[in-house]
Amino acid sequence: MNTLSRPGKTSGLRHVALFVANLEACVDFYTRLLGMNIEWQPDADNVYLTSGNDNLALHRWVGLKQSSEQVLDHIGFILSSPDVVDDWHDFLLQEGVMIKKAPKVHRDGAKSFYCVDPAGTLVQMIYHPPIV
């Protein structure tokens, strides 16, 4: 059996996804106050923001008790191409890392998969064309 070597470095941790109780207030904070732009809003409960070289996903979570309660959805490491997503998936699978969702192409053209770190944090390995 051939063993795979690690597919080089990622392009860094430039994607974070948060569950928020008050989506509209958070969008206002990140756009009006911090200067981010809305990159994509697929529906009324999800907004993707960018500063040009990053991506912040805000997901409405109706179950949160108050707007100050924050829950991390996942962190994301940016990859340079769709093929590299598959390389990372195969490598991490070989290393015994728990894969939560296999590689797939998303509606916006991104490609990613999800795995879990040893502390239980959901980690997305993602090719996201606007920030590669």
Tell me, what amino acid is at 12? G
Residue 132 has pLDDT above 80, yes or no: no
In this structure, of 10-14, 15-19, 60-64, the range with the lowest mean pLDDT score is 60-64
Residue 21 has pLDDT above 90, yes or no: no
Burial class of residue 20 in the structure, from the number of CB atoms within 10 Å of its CB (0-12 exposed, 13-18 middle, 19+ buried): buried
Residue 100 has pLDDT above 60, yes or no: yes
Going from the N-terminus, what domains does the chain have, and what CATH number goes with each?
14-131 (3.10.180.10)
- pLDDT-derived band at 57 (thresholds 50, 70, 90) equals very high
pTM, whole model, 2 decimals?
Answer: 0.73
Give the total residue count for the chain: 132
Which residue(s) pair with 59 in the sheet? 19, 46
- pLDDT-derived band at 68 (thresholds 50, 70, 90) equals low
Across the chain, mean pLDDT equals 88
Mean pLDDT of 81-108: 94
Whether residue 49 contacts residue 58, with contact meaning beta carbons closer than 8 Å, is answered with: yes
CA angle 34, 124, 113 (to 5 degrees): 140
Whether residue 19 contacts residue 86, with contact meaning beta carbons closer than 8 Å, is answered with: no
In this structure, of 24-38, 51-65, 103-117, the range with the lowest mean pLDDT score is 51-65
Q: Which helix (H) or strand (E) holds 85?
A: helix 82-94
Mean pLDDT of 108-118: 91
